[in-house]
Amino acid sequence: MSCQTGSSLEKDQAFLLLALHSSSETLGVAVQDCRDPKTSRRTATFPLGRGLSHSLLNCVEELLPAASWPQLARLAVAIGPGGFTGTRLTVVMARTLAQQLGCSLDGVSSFALMAPRLAVALSDEQMEQPFWIVKPLPRRGTVAGRYQLQMAAEVGAAKVVVELESPHLLAEDFKAFPALDAQDDVAKDVEHLLELCATAHSLGQEVAWNDVLPIYPTSPVVVSP
């Protein structure tokens, strides 16, 4: 699969993909060389917690040294919902790199990334209809996103998940059904994010970096009525 989507010399020299996921206490990083996608893929997770702000760059450089960043052809980042600071840090880093390099940036919600692996718990009947992924927040309510499995374009390929409603705070009296509890597995989800990035790149789908913003279902600022 060719990684070259532009005609300029700079585009011709860009062949790396980078995915970042920090919507939980664990940072996930995934890298792939488009010239050798089968053997070049590398992923790593770092349980940093609140240490993310001090260690983000070092962790990324463990898989992709800064000297190689100009060779990035495309980036992808999980946009939440998740911790306010953690999600923002990787989104800002990804946006900055994409802006400076002039490359596309994919933003995918953390619920959409986990949806394919959680959907296996649905009954056969439920798999044919939309479903919810929910996450209760202490004293804040429930955050939920709505998803549906659809047939892939390629014959024999696994079903793909479409995000019908991005994660948001549900009304107190709303009952989401069928609903699956959000479950973090950053190692699997950052690899899935990289796969989505690779697919979008191979199809030549351009996404502007400034279209990618973090999801904040609840505001960190308390506004008095």
| Cα gap 79→45, rounded to integer Å | 17
Residue type, 163: E
pTM of the complete model = 0.90
pLDDT in tens, 171-190: 999 999 999 999 999 999 99
- The alpha carbon of residue 212 and the mean position of all alpha carbons in its chain are separated, in whole angstroms, by 11
| Cα gap 3→103, rounded to integer Å | 12
- DSSP H helices, the chain, are 9-12, 37-40, 52-63, 84-101, 110-118, 186-202
For the chain, give the percent of residues with pLDDT over 90.
80
Residue type, 59: C
pLDDT in tens, 43-53: 999 999 999 99
Average pLDDT, the chain: 91
In the chain, % helix, strand, coil (3-state, to 5) comes to 35, 25, 35
Residue ranges of domains in the chain, CATH in brackets: 9-109+185-211 (3.30.420.40), 112-181 (no CATH)
